[in-house]
Structures are given as C-alpha cells and as structure tokens.
Structure 1
C-alpha cells in the first residue's frame, strides 16, 4: 500500500534530460506530481518539459553552486515550495587510476559528489518545511567497486555515504532520504564517458524498468534501494 501520494507533490528532478532522469520525471508526472526540471542542455530540457507539461525549469550545472540557489528560488516562486528532490545527474570515467588525469578525477567527484552536496545544502531547508524526500541515484559500484573504475566507483560510494549520513541528520525533520544503487543499466552513459573505455560489462537493465522501480520506491517512502532490489522486481 503506497504511503506517499504523488498528487500535487512538488518535485525537482536534476538530470531531467538523461535516460533515467527523464523516465523518473515521466513516472512522477503520471502520478500527479508538479515538476521542476533541471538540466544542462536548454533545448533538450525545454523539450522534456513540453512533453511532460512541466512549466518550471532551471538550466544549470551541478558543479556550479549557484545552480542550487536558482533551483530553490524557482521552487519558491513557481511552485510555492518543494516536497521532493530527485538527483539523477552523473558522469562516468574509466581506466586505471594511474592513467586517469587529475582533471578527470576532479570532474567526476565534482559532478557525482560535490555538486549534489552543494545542491542539497540549498534545498534541504525547503524539504524540511514540508517533511519531504531526497532521492540520489548512486550505483551498484558503491557496493561492489570494480577495477578500471576507481574514480567512478569511489564517487558513487561517497554519494551513498553522504545519503546515509543525511538520513540520520534528517530523521527528526522527517525528511526521507532514498539511496538508489541500480545494477548496470542501458542508459548510454558508458558511451559518453569523459575518459577511457569501460571494462566488459554484463547486459544492463532497461532504463524504463529501473525508473519505474525508483518511482515505486518513492511512493512506498523507502529509504534504501540496493542493487538486489532491482533483481527482485
């Protein structure tokens, strides 16, 4: 029995133009949520917003701390507040750490860890007002780091650690923190890595199936969605 009714829930989806972010946004919209979509590509963002009937958008990069300020301002001005945040943004890099340039390591951590922390610092006051929820899309790598994915694995493990710390910090405020760690999913991220080539990977899950499972976990007010949860359906 769902514990969270999505009807009129005001939810910011970051990475809304990506394979998972766009599908999660679609699932939330189907449940009646009012969306604030955030992404780096303005043209693609406007197309997703048009497809979903979402009127609120913010163009920005997670690595820019002011993006969070603009998301918070837009949420207040156009939605009257915020009930949820879904962060589906992320980048990948591959190869042995010794062969990974400093700038690549820095960019991976900026997008996958530092940026989400910047964003959360600015949006948590809004979510505390509404006893809302936070969803961060980490990865199976947080549970099972892989050779040839050192920086990427470490960034996802750091994001999961941040989520677990936040869950304790926000318990009294009744803000639910959901850490999502799906197995390899066919999002195309492997082909868009900023460095190196991915090691041999098994066939990935369907982005539609993963997004549906994430939306269901939100409605169930879940606090953890590990890799095994996706295999169980």
Structure 2
C-alpha cells in the first residue's frame, strides 16, 4: 500500500485528458500535486526544462515522492509515408523526455525511500506498446520503446525502493487523438471512459501494483 496523504507528486502532462484527472484523483487521496505541462510553458524537449521543473517542485515542497508522466503526442498515417520530423517529435516527447525525467528524478525519489516513504513513477505507454497498430506504426514504436525502458529500469529502481508502474490502457476518450502532430485519427470504436482509466491508475498507485497491462482496464 502507498499512503498518498501528504505525498508530493509531480504530474507531467497535467492539463491533458488523463493527466488532469490523475492529478485531481491524487489530490482527493491526500497528495500534494505539482503540475507541469507544455501549455503551462514547460516543453520538456527544451534543454534545461526538466531540471527546472524538478528544482521548482523541490524548492516549493521540499521533496519528491512520486512522478506521473502523462505527457505525449500521437501521429497517424501509413508507415511508408511518415516523415522524419514526425518520427523525431514522437520519440523526443514520448520516449527521450520521459527517460530523462525518470533518470533525473531518481536521486530525489531515492531520498524519499530512505525517509521511509514509498516513492513511485507512473508511465503511460498504452495498449499499442503491447499490440502495435497499423496506421500508428511510428506512434506504436515510440510507446513500445518507453515500455521497454520501464521494464528494465523498474528492476534497477526497485533496489533503491522506487516502484515504476507502466499503464497500458486501450483507446481512451480524451482529446489526444483530435490533435495529432500528423495524419488524422481512424475510427477507433468504443473508447474507455477517462474517469475510469484515471481511477484505475490511482487504485494501482495506492495498492502497490507493479504493472498495469491493457487487461487491467477491462471494466
């Protein structure tokens, strides 16, 4: 079990459809939430931004007990037609920034563990990390890369008392697919309720779960 009462959690992508709901749910559980988003001026691809966001969180709250990475971009289109610029942005946002943020937060989360708390990192690679989708080949690849990093990093971070959880929900009814960086969204069929998905993620954080595969989001 992870006690959220008083825990300081940084939520990146906090204005997004899932990020905003996860942040709100953490606060309901008693956490102190620091919010970061590109719309709020924090573009993690810009050198120095990750350090600035972490430093600001520590300066205001004195510690870091949890990190939720809910930021991301999506692109649609045939694998043969995806541009190099689109691939670069997908990996910069969905993979590189997330990896750098997880790495940069490690010393602070390790401090939290040494203080007797139960620090965690929550990532959102999504169902495409398990089952890549035609028409989303590059996006699927970026999320699979994040998922692979998390699997390996979780084994290392566990030694420092830090739990890393990757959530892989199916298509969720947020506005992400309405604002792709390339292409246009195909017909996905029925979407998962974002309130349900966010609630399931909060439950996993509190209950100490170590993985959230797509099957965990079947209501």
1:64 offset after TM fit, Å?
Answer: 2.2
2:5 equivalent to 1:18: no
Cα root mean square deviation, aligned: 1.0
**Aligned counterpart in structure 2 of residue 172 of structure 1, from 159, 179, 184:** 159
**Aligned counterpart in structure 2 of residue 94 of structure 1, from 70, 76, 99:** 76
Counterpart CA distance in 2 for 1:66 and 1:120 is 15
Counterpart CA distance in 1 for 2:150 and 2:59 is 28
2:56 corresponds in structure 1 to 74
1:175 offset after TM fit, Å?
Answer: 0.2
**Matched residue count:** 214
Counterpart CA distance in 2 for 1:139 and 1:65 is 26
Check whether the contact 1:15–1:38 (CA below 8 A) recurs between aligned residues.
yes
Q: Deviations over 1:83-125 (max 9, x none)?
A: 0000000000011122111000100010000011121221111
Counterpart CA distance in 1 for 2:141 and 2:47 is 22
1:145 corresponds in structure 2 to 132
Counterpart CA distance in 1 for 2:152 and 2:88 is 22
**Does the residue aligned with 1:225 lie in a helix, a strand or coil?**
coil
1:205 offset after TM fit, Å?
Answer: 0.5
2:191 corresponds in structure 1 to 204
**Aligned counterpart in structure 2 of residue 109 of structure 1, from 88, 91, 95:** 91
**Does the residue aligned with 2:217 lie in a helix, a strand or coil?**
helix
Check whether the contact 1:133–1:177 (CA below 8 A) recurs between aligned residues.
yes
1:21 offset after TM fit, Å?
Answer: 0.2
Runs ≥4 residues deviating over 2 A: none
1:195 corresponds in structure 2 to 182
Counterpart CA distance in 2 for 1:39 and 1:200 is 28
Counterpart CA distance in 2 for 1:221 and 1:66 is 32
1:161 corresponds in structure 2 to 148
Counterpart CA distance in 1 for 2:154 and 2:38 is 28
2:67 corresponds in structure 1 to 85
Check whether the contact 1:11–1:85 (CA below 8 A) recurs between aligned residues.
yes
Counterpart CA distance in 2 for 1:160 and 1:134 is 13
1:119 corresponds in structure 2 to 101
**Does the residue aligned with 1:177 lie in a helix, a strand or coil?**
strand
1:8 corresponds in structure 2 to 6
TM-score using structure 2 length: 0.95
Structure 1: gaps (5+ residues): 43-58
**Does the residue aligned with 2:188 lie in a helix, a strand or coil?**
coil
TM-score using structure 1 length: 0.89
**Does the residue aligned with 1:170 lie in a helix, a strand or coil?**
helix
Counterpart CA distance in 2 for 1:76 and 1:187 is 30
Structure 2: gaps (5+ residues): 114-118
